[in-house]
Amino acid sequence: MIGGITARVLKNKKLTIFIMVFVLLAGVYSYVKLPRQENPDISAPMAQIFIRYPGSSSLEVEKYVIKPIEDKIVELEGFDYSESVSRNGVGSVFLKLMEDIDTDKAWDDLAKLMDEVKMELPQEVSEITVNTDLTQTPGMIISLSSNSYDADALADYGDYLKNSLSQIDGVKKFEVIGEVQKQVEIIAKPIEINQWGLTSADLISKIQGANVSIPQGSVESQSGRIQLTVKNKFEDINYIENISVASSGITENLKLKDVADVKVVTDPYAANYGRNGTRTVFLVGYFEDTLNVVTVGKEVDSVMDSLNKNIPNDIEFNTLMYQPEDVDNAVKGFMKNLFQAVFFVLLVVLFGMGKKNAIVVSTAIPLSIAFTMIVMYIAGVKLENMSIAGLIIALGMLVDNAIVVSDAIQHHLDQGVDPDEAAILGTKEVSFSILTSTLTTIFAFMPLLLLKSTLGEFIYGVPFVVTVSLIGSYICAIITIPVISSLVLKPSIGQQKEKKSRIRQFYMNTLRKTLGKAKYIYIAAVVFVLIGFTAASSLVSSILPKADKSLIQIDIQSEFSSDIKKTEQLKDQVITLLSDMPELTNYYSSVGSNLPKFYMSVQYRAPEPSIGQLAYEFDLSKSQRFVKKEDLQAFIQERLRENLIGGSASTYLLDLASISTPIQFRLIGTDLERLDQVSSELSEVLHKTPGTMNVSDNFKSREYQFQVEIQEMIASARGLSEYGIQKELSTALLRQPISQIKKNGKHIPIFIHYDIEDKDEVSNLMIKSPISQDFIALDEVAEIQLDSQYPVINHYNGQRSVTITSDLMKGYSVAEVERNIKEHIEGSNYEDIQFEFNGMMAKLQENNASLGQLALFSIFMILAVLILQFHSYSQPIVVLSTVPIAVAAALLGLSIARQPLSFVAMLSLVSLMGIVVNNAIVLIDAIKFFCQGGMELKQACITAVNRRYRPIMLSTITTVIGLIPLLISGGELFRPLAVSLISGLTFSTFITILIIPNLFLSITNARNKWRRKS
């Protein structure tokens, strides 16, 4: 069949060359149009449900709000797990779905479930919001900073920029973050209200009644019917102050300003942002996923330059993150590595095969890459770090098939065969072996292609690109290489033949000496494998390294759960403690919320008064004490841990993907007191464990609160209900939204509360009896006591829980720290607590387990291909004997180079299975070919090695050389992969040339001997 295809394309050389040119041009077009980004998309299916229940305690939120929602969301198809937080007045539920679920349908179902659950919640629940964009990362974050303008004015300039930038093709949306909402605050005076016999309900009714807009219809005129409206004056503070609040028994014209202070304020609980201590708002942009963000970024730059002329000079612009520039730099860097690899590969082919053979073989590279770009464009696979790394990994393998075919064609040309006939014979001779070797490599990468997890999604570009490019290289080998060979290659001259035989002399002499008596070679191979796998025990396990970013993230957590001013003070402490460090340059800050998501691994935290965040830019070139960023982080963390008062701060270097903290485990129980005790003990154990940092837990110890205990019998006798008392208390103490005004296109909410500061004023709060119309002091019908309560209650899958986390300093073992914790747990009396470890080791084991299962399937498929090719069970075993040698060499290489056994290194071990067997396949195929021609078995082994020596060595050298740029400049992510592949391929190739012929000879002789006996 292959011979027929090759013969047809040789008859239509001009059409074949035309198609080659078309593929190259289409590849260039696809490359230009391909969407670009720095890192792969990770669209983990997650949602956050936020609920506001004013006036309730954390226990009430847990019982009446969170529990019904948790019971409901488990009905969602693909539900994985949930985490919830109950606080005073608010609650939130974090929901995670399984990876392969239809998220659009799931979120529609979630909306329906929320509509259903609303019927079960208390009437006082004022807000339920669902956010399903937790993993969405902006394409750009620009800060607008100035102390000459308030946040509103800065936001107005941000809106001006947003309106123009949103019109650019490729921009999905822009939003302004940091605008502090204006509010009308009505502070009622209890004494004056009581003197006039008013209640909070009276005030609210009068205010709402003055802010009415009722449709008035229309009237007839000469020009037709004209709409009639009544001008609403309810947009002026003076008008609101002068609202009449007199009740029916009051004859005087009592105004609102007589019993309350009315003023415009900023939202006291709103998050605020800054840059280097200067007031800041952020312009946050999102790009379309299907377009080249670098091109869109250039258009954004152009529009920004023209708009900036209309922005005051004392407003400073800076970028917290700007994806177009990051992507452009990352893609240029990787493409530089790719071109370097192409150059090295061509150089090797040139010196190994001669000028004409190098021309022939090298055509496979641009054609295969162009084919890959076309398929990527059609399939919607983006150009990012992983897909480009896949190209670099595949690069050396792209010429493997071409080398084998070219070498076979050259052999027939040297025998005096016509060029076209030599092309047909040479291609047909090796076609099945290169097909099986291509399939085995593709099957080796298949587990990575099918891995269903966040990590699988992250690395998807590598196996996809390798698979597509190998398919492209095989098509080139059987179609374009024969055509070009027939046009370019000529018979070799005798001097070249002699030179080639000298290069092989050492191996050929060694093979002749050992063939049939290779016991010591077998023993040496087994010892080497044992050494390699023993070296694996010294390797440090990890998932993914830190991102190559000069940013340190600091998450702060105040001890005061509802006081945003305390969080502001905590943030200022952090800034002061770090102010003398020259390595730290600029910083961005937030209080009451996270900063806009400035990197894909930044974890979402729901806005609340007790949290804050800082992002520090750093420059290690300015440092005389820190060489590595991990050292800088450890120093900052220790300084903050020792000196921070009133809260905690956790420092993070940015991760390539949000997978899990190194150490993370969960305590599950029913008794909050017990969870408090055990979590404190285990946090202390972690603090004392060498190498740990950022030790924290999400449990909040008791806080003192005033508790009102209503005496129901007394209240009832005085004509008061428990509901009426609670409602009056809620209005008096909470900032209740009662109405809103519309001004300059913006809605400004109106809040009301009483001017009450201390317990005595609460005790003297007068409540009007609807029956007797008397005013009764609160302390006459209730007792107010100081009590301690848990302000925060956490759940995991509906059960009370505490999560303890810790980072690790570089060089420390996650497994060792977890072992210490587990030993402490086993030696303690914690039978009433359930423990779940779900940190990096658990994630690594989970992914490795999935990878292992898929690897078994991969081995099965490789075996099936080998059995199909060789029609034997023993010969595939001979082929697979190279795998343990290659894996052992890879592990030994990682150990010598002091590289971690990261997940990326693990994927290189899996992919080695398919790569290293190719040499064995080509070698055994040649041995069988010569045996079928009547050659004696031992001589066939020697002749096969002699014939296939050059393509085997060149294939290995080109693959290894192609990985050199990745080794040098691939960073912490790709260096372990390059080390693993280079060491595994290099050693296995050298040993394959000796072991495979010996094993084949031994097994064949043993089988023949057994057959003679039987």
pLDDT tens for each residue of 663-700: 888 999 999 999 999 999 998 888 888 888 878 888 87
Specify the 3-state DSSP secondary structure of 86.
Answer: strand
**The pLDDT of residue 26:** 95
**Strand, coil or helix: 255:** strand
Q: Which SS3 state, helix, strand or coil, does residue 535 take?
A: helix
Q: What angle, 0 to 180 degrees and rounded to 10, lies between the N-to-C axes of helices 903-932 and 882-896?
A: 140
Q: Is 554 a residue whose pLDDT tops 90?
A: yes
Cross-strand pairs, 48: 94, 131
For 471, residues 6+ apart whose C-beta sits below 8 A from its C-beta are 371, 438, 442
Residue 479 has pLDDT above 80, yes or no: yes
Query: What pLDDT band is residue 28 in, cutting at 50, 70 and 90?
Result: very high
Pairing between β-strand 746-754 and β-strand 182-188 as defined by DSSP bridges:
parallel
Higher pLDDT, 168 or 548: 168
CB atoms within 10 A of CB 775: 16
800: pLDDT confidence band, cut at 50, 70 and 90?
very high
**DSSP summary character for residue 604:** P
Q: Pick the more confident residue, 348 or 599.
A: 599
Residue 995 scores a pLDDT above 70:
yes
Q: How far apart are CA 848 and CA 78, in angstroms?
A: 22
Task: Look up residue 205 and give its two tokens.
Answer: 């009714």
Residue 847 confidence (pLDDT) above 70:
no
pLDDT value at position 221? 67
In this predicted structure, the answer to whether residue 439 has a pLDDT above a threshold of 80 is: yes
The pTM assigned to this predicted structure is 0.76
The count of other CB atoms within 10 Å of the CB of residue 100 is: 9
The letter for the amino acid at 892 is L
Task: Indicate the range of 161-170, 726-735, 867-876 predicted with least confidence.
Answer: 726-735
Sequential DSSP letters for 959-975: HHHHHHHHHHHSHHHHH
Cβ–Cβ under 8 Å, residues 662 and 839? yes
Residue 278 pLDDT: 93
Indicate if the pLDDT at residue 197 is higher than 70. yes
Local confidence band at 273 (pLDDT 50, 70, 90 cut-offs): very high
Confidence of residue 498 (pLDDT cuts 50, 70, 90): very low
The 3-state DSSP class for residue 42 equals: coil
Q: Is the pLDDT of residue 495 over 70?
A: no
Least confident of 230-234, 637-641, 775-779: 230-234
**730: which 2 tokens?**
């809620």
- Yes or no: say if 367 and 24 are a contact pair by the CB < 8 Å rule: yes
Average pLDDT over residues 652-671: 81
Using CA atoms, how far apart are residues 754 and 260, in angstroms rounded to an integer?
A: 9
pLDDT over 90 at 307, yes or no: no
Which long-range CB contacts under 8 A does 204-210 form with residues at least 24 apart?
A: 204/731, 204/738, 204/752, 206/243, 206/244, 206/245, 206/256, 207/240, 207/243, 207/256, 207/738, 207/739, 207/750, 207/752, 208/738, 208/739, 210/234, 210/240, 210/243
Closest CA to 411 of 390, 428, 434, 394: 428
Q: How many CB atoms lie within 10 A of CB 781?
A: 23
User: Which is it for strands 79-87 and 90-97: parallel, antiparallel or unpaired?
Assistant: antiparallel
- pLDDT band, residue 371 (cuts 50/70/90): very high
Output b/e per residue, 810-828; b: 16+ Cβ within 10 A.
eebebeebbebbeeebeee
Per-residue pLDDT of 34-68, as tens digits, reads 888 777 776 668 888 988 887 788 888 999 999 99
Residue 716 binned pLDDT confidence (cut-offs 50, 70, 90): confident
Average pLDDT over residues 738-746: 76
Positive or negative: CA dihedral 376, 380, 382, 383: positive
Tens of pLDDT, residue by residue over 99-130, are 777 888 888 899 899 988 888 888 878 778 88
CA atoms within 13 A on the CB side of 276: 13
Mean pLDDT taken over the chain: 83
Name residue, tokens 């001013």: 565
Most confident stretch, 40-44, 515-519, 644-648, 910-914: 644-648
List beta partners, residue 128: 51
Q: Is the pLDDT of residue 567 over 50?
A: yes
pLDDT digits (tens, 9 = 90+) for 511-551: 787 777 777 778 888 888 899 888 887 787 777 778 788 89
Model confidence band, residue 496 (pLDDT cutoffs 50, 70, 90): very low
C-alpha radius of gyration, the chain, whole number: 36
- Scored b (16 or more CB within 10 A) or e, 852-876 reads eebbeebbebbbebbeebbebeebb
C-alpha span between 146 and 380 (Å, rounded) = 42
For range 600-614, the mean pLDDT: 85
> Are 372 and 364 spatial neighbours (Cβ–Cβ below 8 Å)?
no
Strand partners, 693: 807
* DSSP state, residue 178: -
Structure tokens at 52: 């506001």
